[in-house]
Amino acid sequence: MGGEMLPPDEAGPEDVVLAWEGADVVAVRLPQLADSLDHILAAMERKRGKPLADLDRKAKQEVVRILEARGAFSVRHGVETVASALGVSRFTVYNYLNRDKT
The 3-class secondary structure across 15-59, one letter per residue, is CEEEEECCEEEEEEECCCHHHHHHHHHHHHHHHHCCCHHHCCHHH
Q: Could you give the CA distance from residue 44 to residue 65 in angstroms, rounded to a whole number? A: 13
102 residues of the chain, pLDDT tens digit each: 567 889 999 988 878 899 999 999 999 887 665 567 888 899 999 999 999 999 999 999 999 999 998 888 887 889 999 999 999 999 999 999 988 565
Are 94 and 82 spatial neighbours (Cβ–Cβ below 8 Å)? no
90-100 and 57-69 helices, crossing angle to 10° = 70
